[in-house]
Amino acid sequence: MKITFIDSIQDCNSCDWNRLWQQTCANGYPFLRYEFLAALEDSHSVSSEQGWQPHHLIIHNSDGELIAALPLYIKSHSWGEYVFDFVWAEAYQRAGLDYYPKLVNAVPFTPCKGPRLLHDESLKSDILWPQISDALDHECRRLSLSGWHSLFLPLDNSRQLQTRYPQRLGCQFHWYNRDYRSFDDFLAQMNSRKRKVIKKERRQISAQEIVFEIKTGTDITPDEWRKFHQFYQLTYAKLSGHGGYLSEEFFQALGINMAGSIVLICAYNSDQKLIAAALNLRDKECLYGRYWGCLEEYNFLHFETCYYQGIDYAIAEGLTRFDAGAQGEHKIARGFEPVLTYSNHAIVEPRFQPAVKEFVQREASDIQSYQRDACNFLPFKN
């Protein structure tokens, strides 16, 4: 096998990449498709200027055939990863060392668990990861990077890395479809008080004469993408004081090249004016809530647009899970269950390896305790 690194996904043939994607992501997990990663690069949403320099690892066999690929980025900061290591960076700085740049195996701005290694169906990930790990360790030393980090891995892949690189836990809140026939069937599983609260919130939406339309990529016009990007930027400005990472060109490209994966939930007022929207992507099993924004504030508009409409859609489509995004304890009362996420971290500096290992072990105990406690606040009868 020949392992090399490329500084743009354009340096890899799209058909070769997507052949591996189809063989690895049988459910259609959208975030490792060539078109998604290319949209990030082509729109300059990720670039060296943005602190996300593509540095993808690819593997060819002796016949020159692409047999594995790993999306990689050289990072000059820790934003947009959702696995927070700022305290590690501060510790490096206090020791007179540079934590940045570092190498990250992740989907930029996308804390959705899923495969991080694409490979030919004739190969097994537990065979590939050790060789890839050696190559990444060497690349970190060659480029004077502090280490490499693989984020939001499937549990089996994380365990394959765990023997050499500490595993870090996180907690998110996901909705699961227990063979519900309708939203009311879902509500029927809740205790009376929680059920009444959600019904009241949904009635408020109707009383404000807000109606919804769900659109796929082929239904969304360039002007609607433009408006959605404005909503998205407004949300970031309200929360952080600066604009979002993703450009309008990125969203336009998704609409063209990934139409079948797009689920845009649009909210209209009584004047038929688009006032809010939530962008989701989907595969055969899961709905992934990614971004939302609104032009005007209405009571419970966020909950309806980002959660209840998505649950309605997941039930109607027979999807088994709804990942509505990172964080958000308010999701618990709305039936989203606490689930663990997994990441692994390779640190080059020997002096910091024991400290990072101890950190994630201590943190893991707290995360597991938090998950157990959060389960006690779920709204279900049993």
pLDDT in tens, 74-111: 999 999 999 999 999 999 999 999 999 999 999 999 99
- Kindly give the interhelix angle for 125-143 and 155-162, rounded to the nearest 10 degrees: 60
pLDDT in tens, 190-234: 999 999 999 999 999 999 999 999 998 889 999 999 999 999 999
Non-local CB neighbours of 178 within 8 Å, separated by 6+ positions: 186, 189
On the question of pLDDT at 243 being above 80, the answer is: no
Among 308, 379, 344, 366, CA closest to 85: 344
Q: What is the mean pLDDT of the chain?
A: 96
| Confidence bin at 236 (pLDDT 50/70/90) | confident
Q: Which two tokens stand for residue 379?
A: 């709204």
Same topology between domain 2-171+339-375 and domain 178-319: yes
Query: Which CATH number is associated with domain 2-171+339-375?
Result: 3.40.630.30
On the question of pLDDT at 72 being above 90, the answer is: yes
pTM for the structure as a whole: 0.96
pLDDT in tens, 323-349: 998 888 999 999 999 999 999 999 999
Among 97, 106, 342, 301, CA closest to 208: 301
Q: What is the per-residue pLDDT for 382?
A: 76
On the question of pLDDT at 239 being above 80, the answer is: no
The whole-number average pLDDT for the span 230-250 is: 87
Rounded Cα gap, residues 102 and 233, in angstroms: 28
Domain ranges of the chain: 2-171+339-375, 178-319
Q: What is the per-residue pLDDT for 237?
A: 82
Q: What is the per-residue pLDDT for 107?
A: 98
Tell the CATH topology of 178-319: Aminopeptidase (3.40.630)
- Which residue has tokens 């020791």? 95
- 222 versus 240: the higher-pLDDT residue is 222
CB 101 within 8 A of CB 75: yes
| Confidence bin at 238 (pLDDT 50/70/90) | confident
Q: What is the per-residue pLDDT for 244?
A: 87
